[in-house]
A and B are shown apart, each in its own frame.
Chain A
Amino acid sequence: MFPELNNLLNATPDKVDQGKLTLLCDAKTDGSFLVHHFLSFYLKANCKVCFVALIQSFSHYNIVGQKLGVSLTTARERGQLVFFEGLRSSVDVFFRAKGEPHPLQFLREASAGNLQPLYEFVREALRPEDNGEAAWRCPVLLVDDLSVLLSLGMGAVAVLDFVHYCRATVCWKLQGNIVALVHDSGDTQDEENDILLNGLSHQSHLILRAEGLATGFCRDVHGQLRILWRRPLWHPAQRDRSLTYQYKIQDKTVSFFAKGMSPAVL
């Protein structure tokens, strides 16, 4: 959790919005620091988190989490975190004999599969406990990242359907949040990815877009972050407010500053 980003987003772990879809997007840079931010943020906010990690292993997230002040191992033991490790599961599903359905079942199927098993997994993971008293605040689904599903042979429409189902369940029924990362393919003409990104931008409440600098590599400024709120018309705050900040990623935190105001320049 980066305090400076919390300030920009006007959020604290004590005050969590509910029922929101947040889209993280990165173009020509790596936006994974945003995923780490939201993971530690929701764990600190005492939310029940289902983390679908498709791109890195558990230990990576765990070690970074420790730098940000949360322990994924203990969160998993307490039942606060349900961690789905895509890399490990893909090996399992590929090399074992056919048997019970698996969230990544489509990896084995010759025809275009669907993401229903993965949705079932998410629904099971975030289902409220029956005994009435709520141990965790609200459920959160975190996906890193959705573009991998496209690489694994799913169509953009199937992924959009998956997000739609998750929204209906997590955001609406359970009053929780969804945070998903999608790469922006930029000028590579990845049509599927563009469909996915545009479709998600259309329905998300908050878009955080990390971009590499147009002028190229810089040691002191790692990129810029655009924040776009999409709020209803009657909302008191300024409508469709878009903000741009530049950032520098440090060892344990990320510092944000206005464009061109890097401490190294001034």
Chain B
Amino acid sequence: MAAAAASGTSTGTRSTGSIAAAASKNNVTSFQRRGPRASSTDSGSSRLVSIAGTRPSVRNGQLLVSTGLPALDQLLGGGLAVGTVLLIEEDKYNIYSPLLFKYFLAEGIISGHTLLVASAKDEPAEILQDLPAPLLDDNCKREFDEGVSNHETSESNIKMKIAWRYQLLPKMEAGPVSSSRFGHYYDSSKKISQELLDASKCHGFFLPEKISSTLNVESCSLTHGYIQLLQFIQKIIYEEGFDGSNPQKKQKNILRIGIQNLGSPLWGDDVCCTENCDNSYSLTKFLYILRGLLRTSLSACIITMPTHLIQNKAIIARITNLSDTVVHLESFIGSERETNPLYKDYHGLIHIRQIPRLNNLICDVSDVKDLAFKLKRKLFTIEWVQDNYLRQERNIYPPGFSYLLKQKDSAWGEGSLQHSTFLMSFLAKATAFASRLVRHSKPLKQTGSGRIGQAAGPRLWRDGRRQEAPGLLAIPP
């Protein structure tokens, strides 16, 4: 895998060897910093990896690119590994998934990567025109503060809250980091500037054009559109030297591939229409070969797929197995969750379905599971659902406790003195109750002089077990 280069081991693939060789030539000392900062564009000559917009993973040495949404990067273990596929399962009305798609492409333009946009519905040129504008260093702070101030309380207020329930929560990276070159925030209300578009290098694949131009159909089990797309991608990768086979003269670069609505009927695939179709293997075969192409080149791919349309559930499971990272968006539009007060601040849920295990036995699973997204006026944010009551009932508290807490909360307000007093007293009572249960259930063996046993009466201490509740003396027969 080409992306394994950063680990510095010679792994036998040609592309890896070439990068490693280049790196070792530059290294004078054997000591070097292997941090996320090693990726900046204006790097000195002694940097291990010098491709703009990438950084090596701390965990497994993989080269990472940003998805264009720093919060998502964080959830995926730092970013998207080069040579892997990110599959976005579209939300029902396909409203929010194009945003992630565009962020990914826009991040490529900002980082100077080459783009490859494939679509069967929209012209690639139009998609590019619609990309959001980045919030760059100078103005982003102001933009973000404005977005934040109206919904978030200030830091000092958070400190005042009841501490032990909230301080342990993982903090989501909420705001733009002004100096980071890896991952940017985008303003979805503005379009990207024309100069940036002109400066970028982009290849478009628009299915209707390709179908009409060539009709020499080779007999193959893949759908015609998929064959065309694979050949197109392979041609770009080979011609522009992303596979490392013909060494690039210029700066090494990343190819970002975006494929929109893959598997929809527009691609000539009928997995969405019938359950048992003839070429139900087209999609999985396409994914497999695409993955093979990616693994041997410096490229990363995002695919959005309307999985809710696919009739045969078995195919979805296979597609998940054949992709690397899988993220599912579930919007609240049209569902009963839209009116649920718990979710009133959000537009949908985001499920991280799969995170790849690369060069490692384990994967970077984030501990936070209940995630929701919200599209603000400008920013797309991912937040932890404030579902404290349910979550904590599951984990820590005795059953029913959180319900009580919720009632008391409404009366007293969180963090108030009464609230915490109640909390402590309840916990003390619960502990005492639990220990009493334990004491009662264990068989009693008479030890010592037996004086206590005699005093308690003969019935209570027969067979070493207590037969009636203490204090309730049975009436002798």
User: Within 8 Å of chain A (Cβ to Cβ): is B58?
Assistant: no
Alpha-carbon separation in the docked complex, A73 to B11 (Å): 8
User: Within 8 Å of chain B (Cβ to Cβ): is A46?
Assistant: no
Option from B289, B291, B359 in Cβ contact (under 8 Å) with A63: B359
User: Within 8 Å of chain A (Cβ to Cβ): is B422?
Assistant: no
Option from A57, A107, A185, A250 in Cβ contact (under 8 Å) with B285: A107
In the complex, which residues of chain A have a beta carbon less than 8 angstroms from the beta carbon of B99? Answer: none
In the complex, which residues of chain A have a beta carbon less than 8 angstroms from the beta carbon of B363? Answer: 30
Alpha-carbon separation in the docked complex, A88 to B294 (Å): 10
B219, closest chain A residue (CB): A110
Alpha-carbon separation in the docked complex, A67 to B362 (Å): 12
Alpha-carbon separation in the docked complex, A151 to B271 (Å): 14
Alpha-carbon separation in the docked complex, A191 to B318 (Å): 12
Within 8 A of A (CB), among B24-55: none
Within 8 A of A (CB), among B417-467: none
Bits for A228-266, please: 1 = Cβ < 8 Å to B, else 0. Answer: 000000000000000000000111101000000000000
A57-B295 CB under 8 A given contacts A63-B11, A251-B361: yes
User: Within 8 Å of chain B (Cβ to Cβ): is A64?
Assistant: yes
Alpha-carbon separation in the docked complex, A185 to B234 (Å): 32
On whether the beta carbons of A153 and B296 are closer than 8 Å, the reply is no
User: Within 8 Å of chain A (Cβ to Cβ): is B358?
Assistant: yes
User: Within 8 Å of chain A (Cβ to Cβ): is B389?
Assistant: no
User: Within 8 Å of chain A (Cβ to Cβ): is B247?
Assistant: no
Q: From residue A30, how far is it (CB to closest CB) to chain B in Å?
A: 6
Interface size class of B (residues with CB under 8 A): 35 or more
Alpha-carbon separation in the docked complex, A55 to B288 (Å): 9
On whether the beta carbons of B359 and A60 are closer than 8 Å, the reply is yes
On whether the beta carbons of A153 and B314 are closer than 8 Å, the reply is no
In the complex, which residues of chain B have a beta carbon less than 8 angstroms from the beta carbon of A55? Answer: 321
Binds B, one of A5-13, A90-98, A121-129, A203-211: A90-98
A189-B314 CB under 8 A given contacts A62-B11, A63-B359, A147-B321: yes
User: Within 8 Å of chain A (Cβ to Cβ): is B284?
Assistant: yes
Option from B12, B281, B316, B357 in Cβ contact (under 8 Å) with A59: B12
On whether the beta carbons of A67 and B16 are closer than 8 Å, the reply is no
User: Within 8 Å of chain A (Cβ to Cβ): is B410?
Assistant: no
On whether the beta carbons of A36 and B295 are closer than 8 Å, the reply is no
On whether the beta carbons of B289 and A107 are closer than 8 Å, the reply is yes
B283, closest chain A residue (CB): A151
Within 8 A of A (CB), among B346-390: 357-363, 365, 367, 369
Option from A57, A109, A150 in Cβ contact (under 8 Å) with B1: A57
In the complex, which residues of chain A have a beta carbon less than 8 angstroms from the beta carbon of B284? Answer: 151-153
Alpha-carbon separation in the docked complex, A254 to B60 (Å): 18
In the complex, which residues of chain B have a beta carbon less than 8 angstroms from the beta carbon of A252? Answer: 361
User: Within 8 Å of chain B (Cβ to Cβ): is A137?
Assistant: no
User: Within 8 Å of chain B (Cβ to Cβ): is A131?
Assistant: no
B291, closest chain A residue (CB): A87
In the complex, which residues of chain B have a beta carbon less than 8 angstroms from the beta carbon of A198? Answer: none
B318, closest chain A residue (CB): A151
Option from A95, A190, A217 in Cβ contact (under 8 Å) with B314: A190
On whether the beta carbons of B220 and A190 are closer than 8 Å, the reply is no
User: Within 8 Å of chain B (Cβ to Cβ): is A80?
Assistant: no
In the complex, which residues of chain B have a beta carbon less than 8 angstroms from the beta carbon of A110? Answer: 219-221
A33-B361 CB under 8 A given contacts A152-B281, A193-B314: yes
On whether the beta carbons of B314 and A88 are closer than 8 Å, the reply is no
Q: From residue A35, how far is it (CB to closest CB) to chain B in Å?
A: 11
Within 8 A of B (CB), among A66-113: 66-67, 73, 86-91, 94-95, 107-111
| Sample of 23 A–B contacts (CB below 8 Å) | A30-B363, A36-B361, A57-B83, A59-B11, A59-B12, A60-B1, A62-B12, A63-B4, A66-B9, A87-B288, A87-B295, A89-B292, A91-B293, A107-B221, A107-B289, A108-B220, A108-B221, A150-B318, A151-B281, A185-B314, A186-B317, A250-B361, A250-B362
Interface residues of chain B, those whose CB is within 8 Å of chain A, are 1, 4, 7, 9, 11-13, 16, 60-61, 83, 219-221, 230-231, 234, 281, 284-285, 288-289, 291-293, 295-296, 313-314, 316-318, 321-322, 357-363, 365, 367, 369
Other contacts beyond A94-B289, A147-B318, A190-B317: 18, CB < 8 A:
A30-B363, A57-B13, A59-B1, A59-B9, A63-B9, A63-B60, A91-B234, A91-B296, A95-B231, A107-B285, A108-B221, A109-B221, A147-B321, A150-B318, A151-B321, A153-B281, A189-B313, A251-B360
Interface residues of chain A, those whose CB is within 8 Å of chain B, are 30, 32-33, 36, 55, 57-60, 62-64, 66-67, 73, 86-91, 94-95, 107-111, 147-148, 150-153, 183, 185-186, 188-193, 217, 219, 222, 249-252, 254
